Structure 1
């Protein structure tokens, strides 16, 4: 790939996978095989994405997503937020039951970006720690399923840790990359 090579949905999926490779290398290897590509191509796609983000005359974040992913499948107001807050939503071929959603406020400022469940796609039942399997659920589903769910400070814009309480009263902590569950973490006070 050269800097002038197209950067589209296939390359963007590799960017998502690059962050997940730190947590779920086996699942990422399976996904790369399914996509017919390599870890080298994944790293190159991520490098190109980062270069675009940090270029001196870089487009705004929302415009970078739109340039890579095309026109969104849907755009809608975000409930519970003032006018001007929108969700831009794109399909992600690697995960047909999910969508990549970018939440932007006035002036197109991005305040969140995450994989979310596609409308009408089945939501996994989440009741116990054994229901929490990598790549099975998204952040919103954990918030809905478990009590006392709260986010910890993020280590990076694409990584989120949630602390919550299981129905049996046990504390639990989970880490998400791009909004998709990656792993359980040791519970710390």
Structure 2
């Protein structure tokens, strides 16, 4: 039996990681995802393959730690800054995300363990200033920005590992990877 030559896998880097972010967002905002995918020059098959490869990395037995996995894909962070979350001192590792130039992908880590990974506003970038629920549009704000704008926002469990929800006065906001996807008014 002749041996088959296998082509080496294409590199998995920041461009492919953006497709992973988009894949989960497609459940809420397929039109925005389609536009972003096209602007990135990627096909639907590219997005599926990127997600498959990411999931294989996440589930690999004896694989890298979560922080090492992000670094292996995204490279060295653009910044690592100290951050306090309650009594916990963390490091926030920040990477640029070309599809969202005013955002950064943030990984909060303490002692090598990842506590959270999501999109945040880039340091120095102007964020939104929503005053009413009607001011909240898909992909316009991050979890922190919405929580600050609508106190007393209360965290709720998301429907998947990369999803987050906030109970707001009169509505529930859904986020994927920390980016606002939709706001559902409460009927009362």
Could you state the TM-score of these two structures normalised by the residue count of structure 2?
0.91
Residues 3 and 48 in structure 1, CA contact (< 8 A), matched pair in contact too: no
In structure 2, relative to structure 1, the CA distance for the partners of 1:83 and 1:164 (3 Å cut) is closer
1:131 maps to 2:130: no
In structure 2, relative to structure 1, the CA distance for the partners of 1:188 and 1:75 (3 Å cut) is farther
Residue 3 of structure 1 deviates from its aligned partner by 7.0
Three-state SS of the structure 1 residue aligned to 2:77 is coil
- Gaps (5+ residues) in structure 1? 166-170
Task: State which structure, 1 or 2, has the greater radius of gyration over its C-alpha atoms.
Answer: 2
Corresponding residue number in structure 1 for 2:63: 58
Three-state SS of the structure 1 residue aligned to 2:153 is strand
Greater CA drift, 82-91 or 141-150: 82-91
1:142 maps to 2:146: yes
1:154 maps to 2:153: no
In structure 2, relative to structure 1, the CA distance for the partners of 1:45 and 1:57 (3 Å cut) is same
Greater CA drift, 19-28 or 152-161: 152-161
Deviations 1:86-139 (A, max 9, x none): 110000011000000000112x11111110001111111211122110000000
Question: What's the Cα RMSD here?
Answer: 1.7
Three-state SS of the structure 2 residue aligned to 1:147 is coil
Could you state the TM-score of these two structures normalised by the residue count of structure 1?
0.91
